[in-house]
Structure 1
Protein backbone atom coordinates (compact mmCIF):
# COMPACT_ATOMS: atom_id res chain seq x y z
CA UNK A 1 0.00 0.00 0.00
CA UNK A 2 1.49 3.35 -1.00
CA UNK A 3 1.82 6.06 1.62
CA UNK A 4 0.25 9.45 0.95
CA UNK A 5 1.51 11.05 4.18
CA UNK A 6 3.55 14.18 3.52
CA UNK A 7 6.43 14.18 5.97
CA UNK A 8 6.99 17.61 7.54
CA UNK A 9 10.76 17.38 7.04
CA UNK A 10 10.44 17.87 3.30
CA UNK A 11 7.62 20.39 3.16
CA UNK A 12 8.78 23.93 3.95
CA UNK A 13 7.64 26.17 1.12
CA UNK A 14 5.47 23.35 -0.23
CA UNK A 15 2.05 22.16 0.80
CA UNK A 16 2.54 22.79 4.50
CA UNK A 17 1.73 26.21 5.85
CA UNK A 18 4.51 27.73 7.95
CA UNK A 19 2.73 30.81 9.16
CA UNK A 20 4.93 30.58 12.28
CA UNK A 21 8.56 29.45 12.08
CA UNK A 22 11.08 28.83 14.83
CA UNK A 23 10.59 27.52 18.32
CA UNK A 24 12.49 26.57 21.48
CA UNK A 25 13.00 23.44 23.55
CA UNK A 26 9.86 22.43 25.43
CA UNK A 27 10.11 18.75 26.36
CA UNK A 28 12.15 15.58 25.76
CA UNK A 29 11.01 15.20 22.17
CA UNK A 30 12.66 18.51 21.29
CA UNK A 31 16.20 17.31 22.09
CA UNK A 32 17.10 16.50 18.48
CA UNK A 33 14.43 18.65 16.79
CA UNK A 34 14.17 17.82 13.08
CA UNK A 35 12.93 21.36 12.31
CA UNK A 36 15.89 23.01 13.99
CA UNK A 37 18.13 20.50 12.21
CA UNK A 38 16.76 21.68 8.85
CA UNK A 39 17.53 25.36 9.30
CA UNK A 40 21.03 25.31 7.78
CA UNK A 41 19.75 23.35 4.78
CA UNK A 42 16.87 25.80 4.32
CA UNK A 43 19.31 28.72 4.45
CA UNK A 44 21.25 27.08 1.65
CA UNK A 45 18.03 26.68 -0.31
CA UNK A 46 17.55 30.44 -0.18
CA UNK A 47 14.85 30.62 2.49
CA UNK A 48 15.34 34.25 3.58
CA UNK A 49 13.47 33.94 6.86
CA UNK A 50 16.00 31.38 8.11
CA UNK A 51 18.91 33.49 6.90
CA UNK A 52 17.51 36.42 8.87
CA UNK A 53 16.11 34.74 11.97
CA UNK A 54 17.50 31.22 12.14
CA UNK A 55 15.26 29.13 14.38
CA UNK A 56 14.05 32.07 16.46
CA UNK A 57 10.28 32.28 16.64
CA UNK A 58 8.95 34.39 13.78
CA UNK A 59 5.32 35.26 13.04
CA UNK A 60 4.55 35.62 9.32
CA UNK A 61 1.64 37.97 8.80
CA UNK A 62 2.49 37.95 5.08
CA UNK A 63 1.66 34.21 4.92
CA UNK A 64 -1.76 34.45 6.54
CA UNK A 65 -3.63 34.02 3.26
CA UNK A 66 -1.33 31.50 1.56
CA UNK A 67 -3.93 28.67 1.57
CA UNK A 68 -6.50 30.95 -0.06
CA UNK A 69 -4.13 32.39 -2.65
CA UNK A 70 -1.93 29.41 -3.53
CA UNK A 71 -3.80 26.18 -2.82
CA UNK A 72 -6.01 24.75 -5.54
CA UNK A 73 -9.58 26.05 -5.61
CA UNK A 74 -11.03 22.80 -6.94
CA UNK A 75 -8.48 20.04 -6.28
CA UNK A 76 -9.01 16.45 -7.36
CA UNK A 77 -8.28 15.50 -3.76
CA UNK A 78 -7.64 17.58 -0.65
CA UNK A 79 -4.16 18.82 0.17
CA UNK A 80 -3.10 17.60 3.60
CA UNK A 81 -1.32 20.55 5.18
CA UNK A 82 0.49 20.80 8.52
CA UNK A 83 0.05 24.23 10.07
CA UNK A 84 3.49 25.44 11.24
CA UNK A 85 5.45 22.20 11.00
CA UNK A 86 8.56 24.37 11.43
CA UNK A 87 7.21 25.89 14.65
CA UNK A 88 4.29 25.70 17.07
CA UNK A 89 1.14 27.78 16.60
CA UNK A 90 0.40 27.58 20.34
CA UNK A 91 3.79 28.87 21.47
CA UNK A 92 3.37 31.43 24.27
CA UNK A 93 4.85 34.18 22.06
CA UNK A 94 2.15 33.77 19.39
CA UNK A 95 -0.69 36.21 20.20
CA UNK A 96 -4.25 34.91 20.56
CA UNK A 97 -5.49 37.26 17.85
CA UNK A 98 -2.98 35.84 15.37
CA UNK A 99 -4.16 32.31 16.07
CA UNK A 100 -7.75 33.43 15.43
CA UNK A 101 -6.63 34.95 12.09
CA UNK A 102 -5.05 31.63 11.11
CA UNK A 103 -8.36 29.89 11.80
CA UNK A 104 -10.28 32.54 9.85
CA UNK A 105 -8.18 31.64 6.82
CA UNK A 106 -8.75 27.89 7.26
CA UNK A 107 -12.50 28.46 7.41
CA UNK A 108 -12.33 29.66 3.79
CA UNK A 109 -10.62 26.58 2.32
CA UNK A 110 -12.72 23.53 3.26
CA UNK A 111 -11.56 21.79 0.09
CA UNK A 112 -8.26 21.06 1.91
CA UNK A 113 -7.30 19.45 5.23
CA UNK A 114 -5.27 21.09 7.97
CA UNK A 115 -3.37 19.50 10.86
CA UNK A 116 -2.94 21.82 13.83
CA UNK A 117 -0.38 20.00 15.99
CA UNK A 118 1.21 21.19 19.24
CA UNK A 119 3.25 20.04 22.21
CA UNK A 120 1.84 22.97 24.17
CA UNK A 121 -1.35 21.15 25.01
CA UNK A 122 -2.21 23.29 28.03
CA UNK A 123 -2.69 26.37 25.85
CA UNK A 124 -4.61 24.34 23.29
CA UNK A 125 -6.93 23.20 26.08
CA UNK A 126 -7.48 26.78 27.24
CA UNK A 127 -7.83 28.59 23.92
CA UNK A 128 -8.99 25.72 21.72
CA UNK A 129 -12.64 25.63 22.89
CA UNK A 130 -12.99 29.24 21.68
CA UNK A 131 -11.65 28.59 18.19
CA UNK A 132 -13.91 27.92 15.17
CA UNK A 133 -13.06 24.29 14.45
CA UNK A 134 -14.52 22.66 11.34
CA UNK A 135 -14.38 19.09 9.99
CA UNK A 136 -11.44 19.95 7.70
CA UNK A 137 -9.36 21.33 10.62
CA UNK A 138 -7.78 18.57 12.73
CA UNK A 139 -6.46 19.15 16.26
CA UNK A 140 -3.52 17.11 17.51
CA UNK A 141 -1.02 16.87 20.33
CA UNK A 142 2.46 15.41 20.28
CA UNK A 143 2.98 12.83 23.03
CA UNK A 144 6.51 11.50 22.78
CA UNK A 145 6.66 9.64 26.10
CA UNK A 146 4.33 8.20 28.67
CA UNK A 147 5.14 10.96 31.17
CA UNK A 148 3.44 13.47 28.83
CA UNK A 149 0.25 11.43 28.56
CA UNK A 150 -1.77 14.22 30.21
CA UNK A 151 -1.52 16.20 26.97
CA UNK A 152 -4.29 13.95 25.69
CA UNK A 153 -6.57 15.24 28.48
CA UNK A 154 -6.00 18.82 27.30
CA UNK A 155 -6.81 17.83 23.73
CA UNK A 156 -10.09 16.37 24.94
CA UNK A 157 -11.12 19.77 26.31
CA UNK A 158 -12.00 20.72 22.73
CA UNK A 159 -15.62 20.20 21.65
CA UNK A 160 -16.55 16.57 21.05
CA UNK A 161 -17.16 17.14 17.32
CA UNK A 162 -13.59 18.36 16.68
CA UNK A 163 -11.47 15.81 14.79
CA UNK A 164 -8.61 14.84 17.10
CA UNK A 165 -5.36 12.96 16.53
CA UNK A 166 -2.28 11.87 18.49
CA UNK A 167 1.24 12.19 17.12
CA UNK A 168 3.42 9.80 19.11
CA UNK A 169 6.67 11.01 17.56
CA UNK A 170 9.50 10.77 18.29
CA UNK A 171 8.35 7.78 20.33
CA UNK A 172 10.66 7.57 23.37
CA UNK A 173 8.89 5.14 25.69
CA UNK A 174 6.16 2.52 25.81
CA UNK A 175 2.61 3.81 26.30
CA UNK A 176 0.69 0.93 27.85
CA UNK A 177 -2.44 2.80 28.92
CA UNK A 178 -3.60 5.15 26.18
CA UNK A 179 -7.07 6.59 26.75
CA UNK A 180 -8.36 6.76 23.18
CA UNK A 181 -11.95 7.71 23.89
CA UNK A 182 -12.79 10.72 21.73
CA UNK A 183 -9.63 10.32 19.60
CA UNK A 184 -10.01 9.79 15.84
CA UNK A 185 -6.52 8.84 14.63
CA UNK A 186 -3.12 7.79 16.01
CA UNK A 187 0.24 8.26 14.26
CA UNK A 188 3.55 6.85 15.51
CA UNK A 189 7.06 7.65 14.31
CA UNK A 190 10.70 7.39 15.26
CA UNK A 191 13.18 10.23 15.70
CA UNK A 192 15.03 11.54 12.64
CA UNK A 193 18.08 13.78 12.50
CA UNK A 194 20.52 14.39 9.66
CA UNK A 195 23.44 14.49 12.12
CA UNK A 196 22.56 10.95 13.22
CA UNK A 197 21.42 12.19 16.63
CA UNK A 198 18.38 10.02 17.17
CA UNK A 199 17.14 7.71 19.89
CA UNK A 200 16.07 4.16 19.14
CA UNK A 201 12.62 2.73 19.82
CA UNK A 202 11.59 -0.85 20.49
CA UNK A 203 9.27 -2.62 18.11
CA UNK A 204 7.20 -3.99 21.01
CA UNK A 205 6.32 -0.40 22.00
CA UNK A 206 4.87 0.27 18.55
CA UNK A 207 3.10 -3.09 18.37
CA UNK A 208 1.44 -2.53 21.74
CA UNK A 209 0.25 0.95 20.68
CA UNK A 210 -1.08 -0.47 17.42
CA UNK A 211 -3.01 -3.13 19.30
CA UNK A 212 -4.58 -0.51 21.58
CA UNK A 213 -5.52 1.63 18.58
CA UNK A 214 -7.06 -1.25 16.63
CA UNK A 215 -8.95 -2.44 19.72
CA UNK A 216 -10.46 1.04 19.90
CA UNK A 217 -11.49 0.73 16.23
CA UNK A 218 -9.29 3.59 15.02
CA UNK A 219 -7.02 4.07 12.01
CA UNK A 220 -3.31 3.66 12.76
CA UNK A 221 -0.23 4.96 10.95
CA UNK A 222 3.40 4.04 11.56
CA UNK A 223 5.42 6.65 9.68
CA UNK A 224 9.03 5.59 10.05
CA UNK A 225 11.77 4.09 12.20
CA UNK A 226 14.48 6.31 13.71
CA UNK A 227 17.25 7.30 11.34
CA UNK A 228 19.01 10.02 9.40
CA UNK A 229 15.88 10.69 7.36
CA UNK A 230 12.30 9.52 7.53
CA UNK A 231 12.63 7.32 4.45
CA UNK A 232 15.93 5.61 5.26
CA UNK A 233 14.09 2.27 5.25
CA UNK A 234 10.55 0.99 4.77
CA UNK A 235 8.41 1.37 7.88
CA UNK A 236 7.56 -2.29 8.22
CA UNK A 237 5.99 -3.35 11.50
CA UNK A 238 5.80 -7.12 11.85
CA UNK A 239 6.14 -7.36 8.09
CA UNK A 240 3.39 -4.87 7.23
CA UNK A 241 3.09 -1.20 6.30
CA UNK A 242 0.52 0.63 8.40
CA UNK A 243 -0.68 3.83 6.73
CA UNK A 244 -4.33 4.12 7.62
CA UNK A 245 -6.19 7.42 7.38
CA UNK A 246 -9.57 8.51 8.70
CA UNK A 247 -12.02 8.63 5.81
CA UNK A 248 -12.66 12.34 6.34
CA UNK A 249 -9.06 13.11 5.38
CA UNK A 250 -9.31 11.50 1.96
CA UNK A 251 -12.98 11.58 0.97
CA UNK A 252 -14.34 13.66 -1.90
CA UNK A 253 -14.94 17.33 -1.32
CA UNK A 254 -18.38 18.53 -0.29
CA UNK A 255 -18.77 21.31 -2.84
CA UNK A 256 -22.08 22.50 -1.41
CA UNK A 257 -20.34 23.01 1.93
CA UNK A 258 -17.46 24.73 0.13
CA UNK A 259 -19.75 27.18 -1.65
CA UNK A 260 -21.55 28.09 1.57
CA UNK A 261 -18.25 28.71 3.33
CA UNK A 262 -16.65 30.97 0.73
CA UNK A 263 -19.73 33.11 0.11
Structure 2
Protein backbone atom coordinates (compact mmCIF):
# COMPACT_ATOMS: atom_id res chain seq x y z
CA UNK A 1 0.00 0.00 0.00
CA UNK A 2 0.93 3.67 -0.20
CA UNK A 3 2.73 5.20 2.75
CA UNK A 4 0.83 7.41 5.17
CA UNK A 5 2.61 10.73 4.89
CA UNK A 6 4.20 12.92 7.53
CA UNK A 7 4.15 15.77 5.01
CA UNK A 8 1.47 18.18 6.16
CA UNK A 9 0.04 18.99 2.74
CA UNK A 10 -0.74 15.43 1.64
CA UNK A 11 -2.23 12.25 3.05
CA UNK A 12 -0.12 9.65 1.27
CA UNK A 13 3.06 9.38 -0.76
CA UNK A 14 3.08 7.11 -3.79
CA UNK A 15 6.36 6.09 -5.40
CA UNK A 16 5.96 4.03 -8.58
CA UNK A 17 9.14 5.75 -9.76
CA UNK A 18 12.16 6.43 -7.55
CA UNK A 19 15.57 7.97 -8.05
CA UNK A 20 16.91 11.33 -9.09
CA UNK A 21 19.99 12.82 -10.76
CA UNK A 22 19.70 16.45 -9.66
CA UNK A 23 22.27 15.88 -6.90
CA UNK A 24 20.86 18.29 -4.30
CA UNK A 25 23.08 18.29 -1.22
CA UNK A 26 20.12 18.63 1.17
CA UNK A 27 18.06 15.78 -0.37
CA UNK A 28 16.40 13.65 2.32
CA UNK A 29 15.19 11.12 -0.26
CA UNK A 30 18.71 10.28 -1.47
CA UNK A 31 19.88 9.76 2.09
CA UNK A 32 16.98 7.44 2.81
CA UNK A 33 17.51 5.46 -0.39
CA UNK A 34 21.20 5.00 0.34
CA UNK A 35 20.38 3.84 3.85
CA UNK A 36 17.94 1.14 2.74
CA UNK A 37 19.73 -0.19 -0.33
CA UNK A 38 21.60 -3.24 0.90
CA UNK A 39 24.47 -4.57 -1.22
CA UNK A 40 23.92 -2.76 -4.50
CA UNK A 41 26.58 -4.69 -6.42
CA UNK A 42 24.89 -7.97 -5.57
CA UNK A 43 21.41 -6.54 -6.08
CA UNK A 44 22.18 -5.48 -9.64
CA UNK A 45 23.01 -9.07 -10.59
CA UNK A 46 19.56 -10.28 -9.51
CA UNK A 47 17.02 -11.43 -12.08
CA UNK A 48 14.43 -9.45 -10.13
CA UNK A 49 15.76 -6.27 -11.74
CA UNK A 50 15.48 -5.50 -15.44
CA UNK A 51 18.00 -3.05 -16.83
CA UNK A 52 17.11 -0.53 -19.52
CA UNK A 53 19.27 2.04 -21.27
CA UNK A 54 19.01 4.53 -24.10
CA UNK A 55 19.94 8.15 -24.76
CA UNK A 56 18.38 9.09 -21.40
CA UNK A 57 20.80 6.80 -19.56
CA UNK A 58 20.59 3.62 -17.50
CA UNK A 59 17.54 2.76 -15.43
CA UNK A 60 15.89 -0.20 -13.75
CA UNK A 61 12.48 -1.88 -13.72
CA UNK A 62 11.12 -3.90 -10.81
CA UNK A 63 7.95 -5.97 -11.26
CA UNK A 64 7.67 -7.09 -7.62
CA UNK A 65 9.15 -5.90 -4.30
CA UNK A 66 12.87 -6.68 -4.30
CA UNK A 67 14.03 -9.32 -1.82
CA UNK A 68 17.66 -9.83 -0.83
CA UNK A 69 19.45 -13.15 -0.42
CA UNK A 70 17.74 -13.84 2.94
CA UNK A 71 14.28 -12.93 1.68
CA UNK A 72 14.07 -9.47 3.24
CA UNK A 73 12.43 -6.72 1.20
CA UNK A 74 14.95 -4.06 0.13
CA UNK A 75 13.14 -0.81 -0.76
CA UNK A 76 15.93 0.77 -2.83
CA UNK A 77 18.09 -2.02 -4.30
CA UNK A 78 19.90 0.36 -6.70
CA UNK A 79 20.13 3.25 -4.23
CA UNK A 80 18.91 6.45 -5.88
CA UNK A 81 19.34 5.37 -9.50
CA UNK A 82 16.15 5.70 -11.60
CA UNK A 83 13.83 2.76 -11.01
CA UNK A 84 10.26 1.96 -12.11
CA UNK A 85 8.41 -0.04 -9.46
CA UNK A 86 5.60 -1.47 -11.56
CA UNK A 87 4.00 -3.23 -8.61
CA UNK A 88 3.10 0.17 -7.12
CA UNK A 89 0.84 1.20 -10.00
CA UNK A 90 -2.43 -0.31 -8.64
CA UNK A 91 -2.05 1.28 -5.20
CA UNK A 92 -4.20 4.42 -5.65
CA UNK A 93 -7.13 2.35 -6.93
CA UNK A 94 -6.85 0.11 -3.87
CA UNK A 95 -7.41 3.12 -1.61
CA UNK A 96 -11.14 3.82 -1.78
CA UNK A 97 -11.34 6.82 0.53
CA UNK A 98 -10.50 10.08 -1.30
CA UNK A 99 -7.04 11.36 -0.37
CA UNK A 100 -4.40 13.87 -1.39
CA UNK A 101 -1.49 11.91 -2.87
CA UNK A 102 2.04 13.23 -3.41
CA UNK A 103 3.26 11.39 -6.50
CA UNK A 104 6.94 10.37 -6.45
CA UNK A 105 8.25 11.88 -3.25
CA UNK A 106 11.40 9.74 -3.62
CA UNK A 107 12.58 11.05 -6.97
CA UNK A 108 11.61 13.30 -9.86
CA UNK A 109 9.04 11.80 -12.21
CA UNK A 110 9.77 14.52 -14.77
CA UNK A 111 13.56 14.35 -14.75
CA UNK A 112 15.21 14.14 -18.17
CA UNK A 113 16.27 10.57 -17.38
CA UNK A 114 12.65 9.34 -17.10
CA UNK A 115 11.13 7.98 -20.33
CA UNK A 116 7.73 9.22 -21.48
CA UNK A 117 6.36 5.69 -21.15
CA UNK A 118 6.97 5.61 -17.40
CA UNK A 119 5.21 8.94 -17.01
CA UNK A 120 2.31 7.79 -19.19
CA UNK A 121 1.78 4.68 -17.07
CA UNK A 122 1.87 6.66 -13.82
CA UNK A 123 -0.71 9.08 -15.23
CA UNK A 124 -2.84 6.13 -16.30
CA UNK A 125 -2.75 4.58 -12.85
CA UNK A 126 -3.80 7.91 -11.32
CA UNK A 127 -6.61 8.31 -13.83
CA UNK A 128 -7.88 4.86 -12.83
CA UNK A 129 -8.58 6.27 -9.34
CA UNK A 130 -10.10 9.71 -10.08
CA UNK A 131 -11.49 10.20 -6.57
CA UNK A 132 -8.04 11.20 -5.29
CA UNK A 133 -6.21 14.52 -5.69
CA UNK A 134 -2.70 14.06 -7.13
CA UNK A 135 0.18 16.45 -6.51
CA UNK A 136 3.19 16.24 -8.84
CA UNK A 137 6.48 18.03 -8.18
CA UNK A 138 9.56 18.54 -10.30
CA UNK A 139 12.76 20.55 -10.52
CA UNK A 140 12.60 20.16 -14.29
CA UNK A 141 9.48 22.20 -15.18
CA UNK A 142 10.35 22.30 -18.87
CA UNK A 143 9.23 18.66 -19.03
CA UNK A 144 5.69 19.76 -18.14
CA UNK A 145 5.73 22.14 -21.09
CA UNK A 146 7.11 19.51 -23.46
CA UNK A 147 4.47 17.00 -22.41
CA UNK A 148 1.68 19.58 -22.65
CA UNK A 149 2.74 20.61 -26.16
CA UNK A 150 2.78 16.94 -27.18
CA UNK A 151 -0.69 16.36 -25.73
CA UNK A 152 0.70 14.03 -23.07
CA UNK A 153 0.00 16.08 -19.92
CA UNK A 154 -3.47 15.24 -18.55
CA UNK A 155 -5.66 18.30 -18.09
CA UNK A 156 -7.68 17.19 -15.08
CA UNK A 157 -9.17 19.00 -12.12
CA UNK A 158 -7.63 16.58 -9.63
CA UNK A 159 -4.08 16.83 -11.05
CA UNK A 160 -1.79 19.59 -9.73
CA UNK A 161 1.59 20.23 -11.35
CA UNK A 162 4.13 21.85 -9.06
CA UNK A 163 7.65 23.17 -9.45
CA UNK A 164 10.19 23.12 -6.64
CA UNK A 165 12.23 26.31 -6.37
CA UNK A 166 14.59 27.38 -3.61
CA UNK A 167 15.64 30.78 -5.00
CA UNK A 168 13.64 33.44 -6.86
CA UNK A 169 15.82 33.23 -9.99
CA UNK A 170 14.90 29.60 -10.73
CA UNK A 171 12.50 28.66 -13.52
CA UNK A 172 9.02 27.33 -12.87
CA UNK A 173 6.10 26.16 -14.99
CA UNK A 174 2.92 28.24 -15.10
CA UNK A 175 -0.32 27.75 -16.97
CA UNK A 176 -3.26 30.00 -17.78
CA UNK A 177 -6.45 29.58 -15.71
CA UNK A 178 -8.79 26.96 -17.08
CA UNK A 179 -5.97 24.80 -18.47
CA UNK A 180 -3.76 23.06 -15.90
CA UNK A 181 -3.62 23.36 -12.12
CA UNK A 182 -0.15 24.46 -10.98
CA UNK A 183 1.70 25.53 -7.86
CA UNK A 184 5.09 26.42 -6.39
CA UNK A 185 6.92 24.59 -3.63
CA UNK A 186 9.54 26.88 -2.10
CA UNK A 187 11.40 24.27 -0.09
CA UNK A 188 13.89 24.63 1.28
CA UNK A 189 13.60 28.39 1.07
CA UNK A 190 17.16 29.68 0.65
CA UNK A 191 16.68 33.35 -0.21
CA UNK A 192 14.24 36.18 0.21
CA UNK A 193 11.46 35.91 -2.37
CA UNK A 194 10.84 39.62 -2.77
CA UNK A 195 8.23 39.11 -5.45
CA UNK A 196 8.19 41.68 -8.23
CA UNK A 197 6.04 42.14 -11.30
CA UNK A 198 7.61 39.12 -13.02
CA UNK A 199 5.73 36.81 -10.66
CA UNK A 200 2.38 38.22 -11.76
CA UNK A 201 1.38 36.82 -15.13
CA UNK A 202 -0.62 39.01 -17.49
CA UNK A 203 -2.69 37.42 -20.22
CA UNK A 204 -4.63 39.22 -22.95
CA UNK A 205 -7.48 36.71 -22.59
CA UNK A 206 -7.29 35.69 -18.90
CA UNK A 207 -6.29 38.94 -17.22
CA UNK A 208 -3.79 39.09 -14.37
CA UNK A 209 -3.05 36.08 -12.18
CA UNK A 210 -0.41 34.71 -9.83
CA UNK A 211 0.60 31.23 -8.59
CA UNK A 212 -2.62 29.60 -7.31
CA UNK A 213 -0.79 27.88 -4.45
CA UNK A 214 2.56 28.43 -2.75
CA UNK A 215 4.06 25.91 -0.30
CA UNK A 216 6.93 27.15 1.86
CA UNK A 217 9.27 25.07 4.01
CA UNK A 218 12.62 25.32 5.78
CA UNK A 219 15.73 23.24 5.21
CA UNK A 220 15.84 20.33 7.63
CA UNK A 221 18.61 18.00 8.79
CA UNK A 222 21.91 18.55 10.57
CA UNK A 223 24.13 19.37 7.59
CA UNK A 224 26.69 22.14 7.84
CA UNK A 225 25.94 25.51 6.24
CA UNK A 226 22.20 24.89 6.45
CA UNK A 227 20.19 27.91 5.32
CA UNK A 228 18.23 29.48 8.17
CA UNK A 229 15.10 31.22 6.86
CA UNK A 230 14.38 34.74 8.04
CA UNK A 231 10.96 35.79 9.31
CA UNK A 232 10.73 38.57 6.74
CA UNK A 233 11.17 36.05 3.93
CA UNK A 234 7.98 34.33 5.02
CA UNK A 235 6.22 37.63 5.55
CA UNK A 236 7.00 38.78 2.01
CA UNK A 237 5.39 35.63 0.60
CA UNK A 238 2.30 36.15 2.74
CA UNK A 239 2.01 39.76 1.61
CA UNK A 240 2.30 38.73 -2.04
CA UNK A 241 -0.35 36.03 -1.64
CA UNK A 242 -2.76 38.42 0.06
CA UNK A 243 -2.30 40.98 -2.70
CA UNK A 244 -2.79 38.55 -5.58
CA UNK A 245 -5.12 35.85 -4.26
CA UNK A 246 -2.63 32.99 -3.93
CA UNK A 247 -3.23 30.28 -1.35
CA UNK A 248 -0.26 29.66 0.96
CA UNK A 249 0.76 26.63 2.98
CA UNK A 250 3.48 27.25 5.56
CA UNK A 251 5.03 24.01 6.78
CA UNK A 252 5.41 23.36 10.48
CA UNK A 253 9.21 23.38 10.21
CA UNK A 254 9.02 27.17 9.81
CA UNK A 255 7.74 27.60 13.38
CA UNK A 256 11.20 28.15 14.96
CA UNK A 257 11.86 31.04 12.57
CA UNK A 258 8.46 32.68 12.08
CA UNK A 259 6.31 33.74 15.03
CA UNK A 260 3.24 34.64 12.98
CA UNK A 261 0.36 32.34 12.14
CA UNK A 262 1.38 29.29 10.12
CA UNK A 263 -1.24 29.64 7.42
CA UNK A 264 -2.03 26.24 5.87
CA UNK A 265 -4.51 26.76 3.05
CA UNK A 266 -5.31 24.52 0.09
CA UNK A 267 -6.47 25.58 -3.39
CA UNK A 268 -8.79 22.56 -3.56
CA UNK A 269 -11.30 20.93 -1.22
CA UNK A 270 -9.56 19.27 1.69
CA UNK A 271 -10.28 16.56 2.48
CA UNK A 272 -11.05 15.95 -1.20
CA UNK A 273 -14.57 15.12 -2.28
CA UNK A 274 -15.28 11.83 -4.00
CA UNK A 275 -15.06 12.48 -7.73
CA UNK A 276 -15.21 8.83 -8.76
Same fold (TM over 0.5): yes
State how 1:212-251 maps to structure 2 within 5 Å. 212-225=240-253, 234=255, 237-251=258-272
Are 2:165 and 1:143 equivalent residues in the alignment?
Answer: yes
Change (3 A) 1:221 1:35: same
Q: What TM-score comes out, normalization by structure 2 length?
A: 0.73
CA distance in 2, matches of 1:47, 1:40: 15
| Aligned mate of 1:174, from 192, 209, 213 | 192
Change (3 A) 1:213 1:125: same
Higher strand share: 2
Q: Partner of 2:169: helix, strand, or coil?
A: helix
Q: What TM-score comes out, normalization by structure 1 length?
A: 0.76
Change (3 A) 1:6 1:61: closer
Change (3 A) 1:92 1:243: same
Unaligned runs of 5+ in 2: 39-71, 202-208
Alignment RMSD: 2.7
1:162-194 residue CA offsets vs partner (Å, 9 max, x unmatched) = 211110111111122233625321110011125
Which stretches of structure 1, 4 residues or longer, exceed 6 Å deviation after superposition?
A: none
Higher helix share: 1
**Structure number with bigger Rg:** 2
Change (3 A) 1:235 1:135: farther
Which residue does 1:231 correspond to in 2? none
Q: Partner of 1:127: helix, strand, or coil?
A: helix
Q: How many residues align?
A: 227
CA distance in 2, matches of 1:203, 1:236: 6
Pairwise CA distance, 1:138: 0.8
CA distance in 1, matches of 2:137, 2:85: 18
1:26-52 residue CA offsets vs partner (Å, 9 max, x unmatched) = 5xxx221111122255459x65132x2
Which residue does 1:202 correspond to in 2? 230
Which residue does 2:46 correspond to in 1? none
Which residue does 2:182 correspond to in 1? 164
Change (3 A) 1:134 1:222: same
